[in-house]
Amino acid sequence: MKNFPIQFVRKIVQYGFVAMIVLIGVQFTLFVNQLEEGILPTITRPPGIEGFLPISSLISFKYWLVTGIFNPIHPSGLIIFLVILATAILLKRGFCSWVCPFGLLTEYLNRLHRFIFRKDIRLPRWLDYPLRSLKYLLLFFFIWAIIIKMNPRDLDYFIYSPYNMVADIKMLHFFKDISAFALWVLAALFILSILVRNFWCRYLCPYGALLGGLSFISVFKIHRNEDTCTQCQQCTGTCPVDIKVHKTTSVISDECHACLKCVAVCPEQDTLYISAAKRSGILKPALYAVIICLLFIGGSVIGRLSGHWQTRITNYEYSFHVAHLDTPFYQHNRGQVPVYNKDAWMMMMERIKRSEKAWRKGQRLKD
């Protein structure tokens, strides 16, 4: 019974976020369906859909840093991105094991792995470590391509480009009309995730690499009291990412998802705990759950109050974009803008920029 409450609370949080994501997906699908039927949407576009545009959010993040402008195209995507970064700085990779739907899927695939093989199969170190570097190589590629290489003009061009304006719709179409190649890739990842535990999260997820790097400076970490530890090794045995918890006094590994399974399974009271410092600032698991939920709720509230939550693209403009999705104008073509409707796009971009400047000026006057 000691194990039950911590993991029960985590499951409630996980399923709560999954339910919210499903609702967002359904609402966005209905919104796009009305656009494609030529109807001016009566359904509000859910801003939360922008959480699935990490590359656009990373570009928006740099644009904000170099220009001071919180771009109005996908503002909630940047808010969600900043909140996720905050979770890593405060709570290690808690996003992966408490919020991310792929993290929840991975847990069920791990169960299937154990059902098939009757035990946890681990890759040898000589193979595991090189594979773990892959996600960091992917992360470094995005950092190099966006943070290092893109100048303010390139950032401005991408953010206000037609492709970025409909990136959320293009993402929906990717899954609705998935190609044979993409389907085979997803099937391969699914099979590999059954054969090798945590395959995507451990070896390929660049988001996980970013959060793992930030988690080194996390305020809260899992600590072990050596005086009361009996070396039963149950903590190490239950760790889903194979950290030798029984051998460390503080878990600083970039792979730690802060799932708190080790804390839950420890038979000795207060021997394993998550805290800001050893034996002080201990964070109860229930409070951990509250904090991670409040970070996302708070981000949404701040975004709404500051006017940086809803996109400034109007439904009329969305209708225009959807009507031309199949033209080369909306394809990712190495930065080349075809002549087709270029004038219309330029006028629309200038209108949105003027709207943003007017809004910012109004905010300053209010202040």
Model confidence over 120-137: pLDDT tens digits?
A: 888 998 999 999 999 999
| Confidence band, pLDDT 50/70/90 cuts, at residue 338 | very low
Task: Determine contact, residues 177/58, Cβ cutoff 8 Å.
Answer: no
Residues paired with residue 274 on neighbouring β-strands, in sequence order: 222, 283
Whole-angstrom distance, CA of residue 144 vs CA of residue 54 = 15
How much is the pLDDT for 161? 84
Structural domains for the chain: 4-115+150-184+289-366 (no CATH), 221-283 (3.30.70.20)
DSSP H or E stretch at residue 69: none
How much is the pLDDT for 118? 87
Whole-angstrom distance, CA of residue 170 vs CA of residue 165 = 10
Residue 91 or residue 331, greater confidence: 91
| Confidence band, pLDDT 50/70/90 cuts, at residue 149 | very high
**Whole-number mean pLDDT of the chain?**
88
Q: Is the pLDDT of residue 334 over 90?
A: no
Task: Determine contact, residues 245/224, Cβ cutoff 8 Å.
Answer: yes
DSSP string, 169-233: HHHHHHHHT--HHHHHHHHHHHHHHHHSTTHIIIII-HHHHHHHHHHTT-S-EEEE-TTT-----
Q: pLDDT for 280-318, tens place per residue?
A: 778 988 899 999 999 999 999 999 999 999 998 888 888
53 φψ region: left (φ > 0), alpha (ψ -120 to 50), beta (else): beta
Q: pLDDT for 221-244, tens place per residue?
A: 999 999 999 999 999 999 999 999
Task: Determine contact, residues 221/263, Cβ cutoff 8 Å.
Answer: no
Q: Could you tell me the pTM of the whole model?
A: 0.87
DSSP H or E stretch at residue 41: none
Residue 258 or residue 322, greater confidence: 258
Q: pLDDT for 94-112, tens place per residue?
A: 999 999 999 999 999 999 9
By residue count, the chain amounts to 367
Whole-angstrom distance, CA of residue 164 vs CA of residue 154 = 13
How much is the pLDDT for 87? 96
Query: Residue 98 gets which letter from DSSP?
Result: I
DSSP string, 131-184: HHHHHHHHHHHHIIIIIIT--HHHHHHHHTSHHHHTHHHHHHHHHHT--HHHHH
Residues paired with residue 222 on neighbouring β-strands, in sequence order: 251, 274
Give which of 81, 31, 90 is closest to 59, Cα–Cα: 81
Work out the average pLDDT over 60-69.
Answer: 95
Q: pLDDT for 241-283, tens place per residue?
A: 999 999 999 999 999 999 999 999 999 988 999 999 877 778 9
| Confidence band, pLDDT 50/70/90 cuts, at residue 322 | confident
How much is the pLDDT for 2? 45
Work out the average pLDDT over 167-171.
Answer: 92
Q: Is the pLDDT of residue 183 over 90?
A: yes
DSSP H or E stretch at residue 276: strand 272-277
| Confidence band, pLDDT 50/70/90 cuts, at residue 340 | very low
Query: How much of the chain, in percent, has pLDDT values that exceed 90?
Result: 69
How much is the pLDDT for 40? 85
